[in-house]
Chain A
Amino acid sequence: MRTLIFLLRKEFLQIFRNKLILRMIFVMPVMQLIVLPFAANYEMKNILLSVVDNDHSEYSRKLINEFTSSGYFILSDVSPSYEKALKVIEDDKADLIVEIPRGFERDLVRDNQTKVMISANAINGQTSGLAVSYSNTIIKEFNNRIRAEWIQQPRLNPLPVVEITSNNWFNPKMNYKYFIVPGVLALLVTLIGFILTSLNIVKEKETGTIEQLNVSPIKKYQFILGKLIPFWILGMFVLILGFLISFIVYGIFPEGNFLIGFLFAGIYLIAILGFGLLTSTFAETQQQAMFIAYFFMMIFVLLGGLFAPIENMPDWAKYLTYINPVSYIIEVMRMLVLKGSGFTDLLKHFGIILLFAVVFNGLAIFNYKKTT
């Protein structure tokens, strides 16, 4: 016990002396939580619209009005022909072209139907997809409105209609920040637990101090605990700091129980620290450790459900997310912060993350023995 306390003391002494890392531990959560959620905006606003109006009629003007008044589009260009409009897209001054054909109003009045062409710049698939779907909604609404003007409403609807109204549960205003902040928080905790731990142990290998420790009566578990505990504390500290920032900046206060969140994050950190320890048993230099860590971080983030919803992934990717510990903490954070899930709702997650903790640490300790 005394040995462990001294190991911890030495570790904290080194951490507090590493001014750059220490500053990063404070600056990183603040920056990432304040900047990232604003930048990672899922809502598309300010889509640049180019209009080719070949009809110049009342209805065509109405349609264009529908677009500009929706709040999603900015009319940035009016071109006389489709070719000219295409040039504007090529110059990156517009994202979407709406071409209204000649005789738009006439066809609409006479034949009850007409066509509008929408062409989107698909270099960014996400933007174009959203722009087209917004346009569809706008045109549909336009359609309904003119139908309402023309048709004399009978007392009963001639056709049975199912009206859909949606309600966004747990995030009624669809504020994407509520959605992304808990996820970023989860990533931050991962970063500290995973990368800092593995780098720290590999550093001892690199400088050779680990050799000295090996020729001492110090026990393996003491060494490992001496490495894991400081970063566990650091991770929990960042978590508290993160919750504070998200409360102050975004007014996000977890719906669920704080303590459950900390309990889960605590176990999650043990798992992730174990993974960092495992990485360190493979790497000989900090450079190698950094590269391995980066490799896994990328996968963890991209398959973690922070940016791309797991439900949208192909099956093979979904299976991969099952073995990605990050996907669990992101989900738990969201469930806790937005939905207010209780302990019993999260039982499955607790079980799985506990399993991760046991497996990662077990493997790490096993492999650590073998290599020294």
Chain B
Amino acid sequence: MQEKEVLYMKAVELENIVKTYSAKKSTVVAVNDVSFSVNEGEVFGLIGPDGAGKTSIFRILTTLLLADKGIANVLGYDVVKEWKTIRSIVGYMPGKFSLYQDLTVEENLEFFATIFNTTIQENYDLVADIYKQLEPFKTRRAGKLSGGMKQKLALSCALIHKPKILFLDEPTTGVDPVSRKEFWEMLKRLKTMGISIVVSTSYMDEAKLCDRIALMQNGQIMKIDRPQTIVDEFGKNLYAVNSANMFRLLTDLRAYPQTESCFAFGDKHHLTMKEDNPKMLNDYLTNAGHNDFNISKIEPGIEDCFMQLMKI
């Protein structure tokens, strides 16, 4: 084992992984020739919409699913041949993390500790930060906890056996913004303890919090890099435009011959132009009869990059 750790510095390695599901007549390619690697001690994010293939990748890496093609390693162990070893060193929190609703907080944690042949006391320091917040409710049944509390308990349960690597499949879906923020702070702390983390999310704002991200779409990876690098490589000036009539504005902007891309982003439309000339746009919109409109140059976010990549 010592030898292996020296040999492999990668926490996760995937090479040309393919996974297809066959429905009645059609086959769905969930993961299409995906390769990437995760360095030890980094927070790696899989970013993509629902159905991008994130969960399939997690299930392959946690040995729950066999890939059709390709090789995958977790901490140097092959997911097919050495699945037994992998199961005792990874922590997995599925998208629908489930606790025993009729057991108390403490009983849940104790149960997950014992099935990994350990005890709460043994690894208490690892979960202490998170579990301290739960301790006042430790005799409460898990089913009676709030959403954020449930998720903290779930993370504690996934951590209690001191995994070397943590797989979190959409851990913050359906959790309130405050709890989401707290959750990411916990992940940062875990990182300092030397635990590698692979996390998936469909919230673009969470992407910035990862060390590196992979943007996924339709089972393929579009780009892998640091979030800042991806943003820097956007390569175009991005403008936010808003006016009194947003719907008409969108149609008009899309009809504008100089428009390269235009997407609705909440209360503004994000726009890139072939010829970077905001003044001309100003005139165009005035002629189109828009008043109170506002054009401002903004910094692109991950979501803008995602949209740009999707278009190609």
A10 part of interface (Cβ distance < 8 Å): yes
Q: Is B116 an interface residue (CB 8 A)?
A: yes
Is residue A207 contacting chain B, with contact meaning CB distance below 8 A?
yes
Max chain A C-beta neighbours (<10 A), residue from B62, B63, B88, B111: B111
- State the Cβ distance, A253 to closest chain B Cβ, in Å: 39
Point out the residues of chain B lying under 8 angstroms from A372, CB to CB: 64
Is A216 in contact with chain B by the CB < 8 A criterion? yes
Which residues, 209 to 230 on A, are CB-close (under 8 Å) to B? 209, 211-218
The secondary-structure label for the interface of chain B is loop
> Is B116 a contact of A216 with CB atoms below 8 Å?
yes
Chain A residues near B232 (CB-CB < 8 A)? none
Q: Are B94 and A217 in contact (CB under 8 A)?
A: no
Q: Which residues of A contact B111 (CB under 8 A)?
A: 6, 10
Tell me which residues across on chain B come within 8 A of A10, comparing CB atoms: 100, 103, 107, 111
A14 at the interface (CB under 8 A from B): yes
Q: A-side binding surface: helix, strand, loop or mixed?
A: helix
CA distance A340 to B102 in the complex (A): 45
| Beta-carbon nearest neighbor of B167 in chain A | A215
Question: In the assembled complex, how far is the CB of residue B190 from the closest CB belonging to chain A, in whole angstroms?
Answer: 18
Q: In the complex, which residues 93-122 of chain B have their Cβ closer than 8 Å to any Cβ of chain A?
A: 94, 96-103, 107, 111-112, 114-117
Smallest CB-CB separation from B114: which chain A residue? A6
Q: When the two chains form their complex, are residues B98 and A208 in contact, meaning their CB atoms are under 8 A apart?
A: yes
* B64/A211 in contact, CB under 8 A: yes
From 14 to 61 in chain A, residues with beta carbon under 8 angstroms from any chain B beta carbon are 14, 17-18
- Cβ of A370 under 8 Å from chain B: no
B87 touches A217 (CB 8 A): yes
B87 / chain A contacts, CB cutoff of 8 Å:
215-217
Cross-chain contact of A212 among B63, B88, B92, B114 (Cβ < 8 A): B92
Q: How far is the CA of A209 from the CA of B108 in the complex (A)?
A: 11
Verify A215–B92 contact, CB threshold 8 A: yes
B100 and A211: CB pair below 8 A? Answer: no
A209 touches B92 (CB 8 A): no
Q: Kindly identify, within residues 133 to 174 of chain B, every residue whose CB is under 8 Å from any CB belonging to chain A.
A: 157
Interface flag for A140 (CB, 8 Å): no
| A209 CB to nearest B CB, Å | 5
Contact A212 B102 (CB under 8 A): no
Task: Provide the residues of chain B in CB contact with A3, threshold 8 Å.
Answer: 114-115, 117
Query: Looking across the interface, which residue of chain B has its beta carbon closest to that of A222?
Result: B115
Question: Which of A10, A213, A218: most chain B CB closer than 10 A?
Answer: A10
A212 to B97, CA, bound (A): 8
* B84 at the A interface (CB under 8 A): yes
- Asked if B114 and A2 make an inter-chain contact with CB atoms under 8 angstroms apart, the answer reads yes
Is B115 within 8 A of A208, CB to CB? no
Question: Which of A3, A6, A212, A218 has the most chain B CB atoms closer than 10 A to its own CB?
Answer: A212
A13: interface (CB < 8 Å):
yes
| Docked CA distance A18–B143 (Å) | 13
A322 to B262, CA, bound (A): 72
- B174 vs chain A, min Cβ distance (A): 14
B84 contacts across to A, CB distance below 8 A: 217
Contact size range, B: 20 to 34
Tell whether, in the assembled complex, residue B98 and residue A6 are in contact, meaning their CB atoms are under 8 Å apart: no
CA distance A211 to B115 in the complex (A): 13
Q: Which of B62, B96, B102, B117 interacts with A208 by CB under 8 Å?
A: B96
Q: Which residues of B contact A2 (CB under 8 A)?
A: 114, 117
- Asked if B90 is at the interface of the complex by the 8 Å CB criterion, the answer is yes
Q: B116 near A211 (CB under 8 angstroms)?
A: no
CB-based nearest B residue for A16: B102
B115 touches A216 (CB 8 A): yes
Cβ-defined contact, A18 with B114, below 8 A? no
A323-338 interface (Cβ within 8 A of B): none
Beyond A208-B94, A211-B98, A212-B92, is A217–B103 a contact (Cβ under 8 Å)? no
* Closest Cβ neighbor of B91 among chain A residues: A215
Q: Which B residues lie within 8 Å of A17 (CB)? A: 102-103
A138 to chain B, nearest CB (A): 62
Contact mask B169-184 → A, CB, 8 Å, 1/0?
0000000000000000
State the Cβ distance, A152 to closest chain B Cβ, in Å: 85
Separation of A212 and B112 alpha carbons in the complex (Å): 9
* Shortest Cβ gap from A242 to chain B (Å): 27
Complex-state Cα separation, A6 to B63, whole angstroms: 24
Instruction: Determine whether the beta carbon of A217 is less than 8 Å from that of B96.
Output: no
A212/B103 in contact, CB under 8 A: no
Is the pair A217, B102 in contact by a Cβ cutoff of 8 Å? no
Which residues in chain A, 134-155, are within 8 Å of chain B measured between CB atoms? Answer: none
Residues on B with beta carbons closer than 8 Å to the beta carbon of A13: 103, 107
Contact A207–B98 (Cβ < 8 Å): yes
Chain A residues with Cβ below 8 Å from B116 are 216-217
With both chains docked as a complex, state the minimum distance between the C-beta of A196 and any C-beta of chain B, in angstroms: 15
Q: Pick from A7, A18, A215: contact of B64, CB below 8 A.
A: A215
Cα–Cα distance between A372 and B116 once the two chains are bound (Å): 19
Cα distance, A17 to B141, chains bound together (Å): 11
Q: Which of A6, A209, A216, A217 contacts B100 (CB 8 A)?
A: A209
Q: A372–B59 Cα gap in the complex (Å)?
A: 12
Complex Cα distance A7/B115, Å? 8
Residues of chain B lying within 8 A (CB to CB) of residue A207: 98, 100-101
Contact with A along B67-100 (1 / 0, CB 8 A): 0000000000000000010011010101011111
Cβ of A211: which chain B residues have Cβ within 8 Å of it? Answer: 64, 94, 98
CA distance A17 to B114 in the complex (A): 20
- CB atoms of A213 and B101 under 8 A apart: no
Complex alpha-carbon distance, A212 and B102, angstroms: 16
18 additional contacts, CB 8 Å, given A212-B94, A215-B63?
A3-B114, A3-B115, A3-B117, A6-B115, A7-B115, A10-B111, A13-B103, A13-B107, A17-B103, A208-B97, A209-B99, A212-B112, A213-B115, A214-B64, A215-B90, A216-B116, A217-B84, A217-B115
Name A's B-contacting residues (CB within 8 A): 2-3, 6-7, 10, 13-14, 17-18, 207-209, 211-218, 372
Q: Can you show 11 pairs from A to B with CB atoms below 8 A apart? A: A7-B115, A10-B103, A208-B96, A208-B97, A212-B98, A212-B112, A213-B115, A215-B63, A217-B87, A217-B88, A217-B115
Top 10 closest A-B pairs, CB basis? A208-B98, A6-B114, A207-B98, A217-B88, A215-B92, A209-B98, A216-B115, A208-B96, A218-B115, A17-B102
